[in-house]
């Protein structure tokens, strides 16, 4: 049953919708900002999220992922819109995990808020009793002992409630954390290469990740988990209980003045940041210049750190330029660049140079003097009064900060909601999707004027490609470096999109097949296939996961790849662990002498061959009957001519049936025609 259809959802919705409806209709329109470039993920949630990131619409500058949104009217409208679109669904989802525990959690949150005022009251009674004891000499030890034991019981009760509430909260939080991480992971896995090549979508997923990470208590980005937001309840009940205490203490006019004085002196430090004495946190990365600098700084950092750019960096002597550009951008980000616009004013500089904390402490003593002059004030009530005022201000400040953080969290929630709605670019619409149907002898490929340019590239990687390959035929894609061979292979495999032209597979537009369905009928090897930090068995086995655990299937794949003899040279055979930088250093290491002694192969030879045969995971499924197309994108370039021919012979054999009849279509990408 969908969440929206559940009675739980409707009761939530019925409760919250009227509240949201109270806002004037003008406030509910989120589109006062310029309409932004929209991709085909046109949902209003996505648009609202994107609009909240705009810094300058004409230059297309966006806030960097995770940056705080300004407290503007437009952003309030967008936050309201996002809340209406997904907050209810989101809280209903959390609620459905553990309704009873969540109810408990909310009740404890209210209860915990009352504790501080109760604590102050109880301690004030003890102080009053002590005052009477000292000033009158009237020893009422039994009453004092009663008060102290009440206080001890109160403390025990508070810590018992605290520990029970915390363990309950941990269970709720971990369930929520799991479900959010699961949803995020599931959505990431669904995404295809062209979708994730879109920088805005990458930002969307990054903000969505931040939202999910907030559930694990990661507060390094100033994030607030939704559970922290629920703690607003604690703060509100704390605020109300302090207010009640203060109300009961300020019975006459002089006390009112003391209250005003107390509040003013405590509030003053909170106003200092707004008087220009310090830079507010929420103003970070707000200007277009800062955002450009953040992007530049990251670009330069990537150039300096990445191994893949190292040849160009040293070949073209880019080092000093990278360092200079990074330093310039970094200074802007850190606020070290002298910028006349952001220079603090003379008055605020003077203000910050004064020792404000001493002055404020002195001010806070004035109410004390006034209160002591009033004969009706006992020491206990004065203490209670003073701590209540301070706690009230402190709680109000916390509440305000929580609200500000919740405001930021709404946009991350919007990112999460929008990310969940993104459909992979290569997936057809449900009503246009057809199932793949095999035809005899393999797969028929027909390309008509196929063209493709990589995003941001002026030169097309493919232009007007025409070909017809009948089922069972072999297509050789031959060309020089950069001529687009791999791009064509990726399009045939439905990993990349094409912009113009037509590609028919078995007479149907390739775009009408679901990529997952289509991929069941192809097997392929790419250049630079990634190795996983796992055993040889798992690295080969990923070619056909259902048989990954079957040793015989993995060994057969290795033999088909002509690399069966290499297995014997590995210290732990199929169990030898691989990592991206080489082979297991300990225990499973390949010793040159050992491998030569056992198989006449040098360690280097084993490694080269292993590199190659790892990519033959394609053989795990190449022989399977449902596979109609085999694509080999230069898998054999690091093998000698003899080994290459052996692989091509195997592929040829695999594509024929027992009688020698053609069963599969082959596509081989190579720079040479040998």
Ligand X SMILES: Nc1ncnc2c1ncn2[C@@H]1O[C@H](COP(=O)(O)OP(=O)(O)OP(=O)(O)O)[C@@H](O)[C@H]1O
Alpha-carbon distance 154 to 227, whole Å? 26
Binding flag, residue 40, ligand X (CB under 6 A): no
Binding flag, residue 208, ligand X (CB under 6 A): no
Burial of 391 per CB tally in 10 Å (0-12, 13-18, 19+) = buried
DSSP H/E element including 478: strand 474-478
Binding flag, residue 484, ligand X (CB under 6 A): yes
Q: In this chain, which of 117, 461, 471, 554 binds ligand X, going by CB under 6 A?
A: 461
Query: What residues contact 256, with CB distance under 8 A and at least 6 apart?
Result: 250
Sign of the dihedral through C-alpha 587, 590, 596, 598: positive
> Which residues 517-556 are close enough to bind ligand X by CB under 6 A?
527
Binding flag, residue 635, ligand X (CB under 6 A): no
User: Three-state SS for 283?
Assistant: helix
Name which of 457 and 581 has its Cβ closer to ligand X.
457
In the complex, the smallest distance separating the C-beta of residue 486 from ligand X, rounded to whole angstroms, is: 3
Binding flag, residue 378, ligand X (CB under 6 A): no
Region binding ligand X by CB under 6 A among candidate stretches 107-115, 474-482, 531-539, 588-596: 474-482
Token pair for 176: 């929520």
Name which of 213 and 425 has its Cβ closer to ligand X.
425
CA-angle at 363, arms to 358 and 367, nearest 5°: 145
Q: In this chain, which of 355, 357, 457, 674 binds ligand X, going by CB under 6 A?
A: 457
Q: In this chain, which of 486, 523, 535, 609 binds ligand X, going by CB under 6 A?
A: 486
Binding flag, residue 481, ligand X (CB under 6 A): yes
Binding flag, residue 577, ligand X (CB under 6 A): no
Binding flag, residue 199, ligand X (CB under 6 A): no
Q: In this chain, which of 483, 559, 608, 645 binds ligand X, going by CB under 6 A?
A: 483
Q: In this chain, which of 112, 255, 485, 511 binds ligand X, going by CB under 6 A?
A: 485
In the complex, the smallest distance separating the C-beta of residue 498 from ligand X, rounded to whole angstroms, is: 12
DSSP secondary structure, 389-416, as one string: HHHHHHHHHHHHHHHHHHHHHHHHHHHH
Token pair for 428: 């057809």
The beta strand positions in 479-538, using DSSP E, are 500-505, 508-509, 522-525
Region binding ligand X by CB under 6 A among candidate stretches 36-44, 255-263, 484-492, 544-552: 484-492
Name which of 485 and 621 has its Cβ closer to ligand X.
485
B/e letters for 564-575, b = 16+ CB within 10 Å, e = fewer, are eebbebbbeebe
Name which of 276 and 501 has its Cβ closer to ligand X.
501
- Per DSSP, what are the bridge partners of residue 75? none
Contact 604, 591 (CB under 8 A): no
CA distances from 314 to 61, 304, 327 (A): 32, 11, 19
CA-angle at 199, arms to 65 and 405, nearest 5°: 15
DSSP H/E element including 618: none
Token pair for 488: 């064509």
Name which of 80 and 461 has its Cβ closer to ligand X.
461
Token pair for 297: 């700084």
In the complex, the smallest distance separating the C-beta of residue 526 from ligand X, rounded to whole angstroms, is: 10
CA-angle at 481, arms to 477 and 484, nearest 5°: 50
- Residues contacting ligand X: total by CB under 6 A: 13
Name which of 381 and 487 has its Cβ closer to ligand X.
487
> Which residues 65-124 are close enough to bind ligand X by CB under 6 A?
none
Q: Which residue, chain included where needed, has tokens 């009961």?
A: 248
In the complex, the smallest distance separating the C-beta of residue 527 from ligand X, rounded to whole angstroms, is: 6
- Per DSSP, what are the bridge partners of residue 522? 629
Name which of 35 and 457 has its Cβ closer to ligand X.
457
In the complex, the smallest distance separating the C-beta of residue 533 from ligand X, rounded to whole angstroms, is: 24
Name which of 283 and 479 has its Cβ closer to ligand X.
479
In the complex, the smallest distance separating the C-beta of residue 71 from ligand X, rounded to whole angstroms, is: 39
Region binding ligand X by CB under 6 A among candidate stretches 211-219, 326-334, 453-461, 591-599: 453-461
HSE, CB side, 13 Å, CA atoms: give it for residue 482: 2
In the complex, the smallest distance separating the C-beta of residue 207 from ligand X, rounded to whole angstroms, is: 24
In the complex, the smallest distance separating the C-beta of residue 328 from ligand X, rounded to whole angstroms, is: 28
Contact 471, 443 (CB under 8 A): yes
Q: In this chain, which of 482, 582, 600, 604 binds ligand X, going by CB under 6 A?
A: 482
Binding flag, residue 175, ligand X (CB under 6 A): no
C-alpha 615 chain-centroid distance: 31
Region binding ligand X by CB under 6 A among candidate stretches 55-63, 281-289, 342-350, 476-484: 476-484
Token pair for 96: 């459905």
Region binding ligand X by CB under 6 A among candidate stretches 2-10, 48-56, 124-132, 478-486: 478-486
Q: In this chain, which of 267, 454, 579, 626 binds ligand X, going by CB under 6 A?
A: 454
Q: Report H helices in 422-549.
A: 485-492, 515-519, 536-541
Could you list the residues that contact ligand X (CB under 6 A)? 454, 457, 461, 479, 481-487, 527, 671
């Amino acid at each position: 049953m969908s969440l929206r259809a559940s009675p739980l959802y409707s009761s939530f919705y019925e409760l919250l919708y009227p509240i949201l409806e109270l806002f004037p209709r003008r406030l509910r329109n989120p589109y006062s900002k310029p309409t932004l470039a929209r991709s085909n993920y046109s949902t209003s949630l996505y648009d609202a999220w994107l609009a909240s990131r705009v810094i300058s619409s004409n230059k297309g500058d966006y806030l960097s992922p995770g940056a705080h949104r300004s407290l503007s009217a437009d952003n309030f409208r967008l936050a309201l819109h996002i809340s209406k679109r997904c907050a209810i669904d989101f809280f209903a989802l959390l609620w459905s995990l553990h309704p009873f525990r969540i109810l408990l959690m909310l009740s404890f949150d209210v209860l915990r808020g009352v504790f501080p005022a109760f604590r102050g009251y109880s301690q004030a009674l003890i102080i009053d009793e002590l005052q009477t004891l000292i000033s009158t000499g009237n020893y009422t030890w039994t009453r004092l002992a009663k008060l102290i034991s009440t206080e001890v019981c109160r403390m025990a009760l508070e810590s018992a409630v605290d520990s029970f509430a915390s363990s309950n909260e941990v269970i709720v939080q971990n369930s929520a954390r799991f479900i959010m991480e699961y949803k995020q992971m599931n959505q990431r896995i669904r995404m295809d290469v062209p979708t994730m090549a879109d920088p805005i979508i990458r930002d969307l997923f990054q903000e969505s990740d931040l939202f999910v990470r907030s559930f694990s208590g990661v507060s390094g980005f100033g994030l607030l988990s939704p559970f922290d937001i629920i703690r607003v309840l604690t703060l509100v009940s704390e605020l109300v209980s302090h207010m009640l205490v203060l109300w009961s203490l300020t019975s006459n006019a002089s006390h009112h003045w003391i209250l005003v004085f107390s509040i003013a002196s405590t509030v003053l430090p909170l106003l200092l940041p707004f008087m220009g004495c310090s830079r507010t946190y929420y103003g970070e990365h707000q200007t277009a210049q800062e955002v450009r600098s953040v992007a530049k700084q990251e670009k330069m950092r990537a150039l300096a750190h990445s191994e893949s750019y190292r040849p160009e960096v040293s070949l073209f002597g880019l080092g000093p330029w990278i360092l200079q550009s990074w330093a310039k951008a970094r200074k802007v980000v850190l606020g070290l660049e002298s910028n006349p616009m952001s220079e603090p004013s003379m008055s605020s500089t003077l203000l910050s140079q004064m020792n404000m904390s001493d002055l404020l402490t002195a001010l806070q003593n004035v109410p004390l003097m006034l209160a002591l002059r009033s004969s009706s004030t006992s020491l206990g009530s004065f203490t209670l009064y003073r701590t209540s005022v301070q706690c009230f201000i402190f709680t109000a400040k916390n509440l305000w900060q929580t609200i500000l953080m919740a405001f930021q969290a709404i946009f991350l929630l919007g990112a999460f909601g929008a990310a969940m709605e993104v459909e992979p670019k290569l997936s057809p619409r449900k009503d246009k999707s057809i199932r793949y149907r095999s035809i005899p002898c393999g797969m028929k490929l027909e390309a008509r004027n196929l063209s493709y340019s990589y995003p941001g590239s002026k030169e097309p990687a493919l232009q007007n490609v025409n070909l017809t390959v009948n089922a069972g035929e072999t297509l050789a894609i031959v060309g020089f470096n950069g001529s687009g061979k791999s791009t064509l292979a990726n399009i045939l495999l439905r990993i990349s999109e094409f912009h113009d032209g037509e590609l028919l597979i078995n007479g149907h537009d390739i775009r009408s097949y679901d990529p997952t369905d289509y991929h069941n009928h192809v097997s392929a090897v790419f250049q630079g296939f990634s190795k996983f930090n796992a055993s040889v068995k798992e690295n080969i086995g990923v070619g056909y996961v259902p048989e990954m655990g079957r040793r015989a299937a993995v060994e057969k794949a290795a033999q088909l790849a002509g690399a069966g003899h290499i297995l014997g040279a590995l210290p732990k055979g199929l169990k030898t662990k691989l990592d991206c930088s080489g082979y297991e250093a300990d225990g499973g290491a390949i010793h040159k002498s050992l491998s030569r002694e056992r198989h006449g192969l040098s360690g280097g030879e084993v490694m080269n061959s292993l590199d190659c045969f790892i990519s033959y995971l394609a053989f795990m499924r190449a022989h399977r009957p449902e596979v109609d197309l085999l694509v080999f994108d230069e898998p054999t370039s690091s093998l000698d001519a003899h080994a290459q021919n052996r692989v091509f012979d195997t592929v040829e054999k695999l594509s024929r049936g027992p009688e020698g009849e053609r069963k599969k279509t082959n596509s081989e990408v190579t720079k040479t025609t040998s």
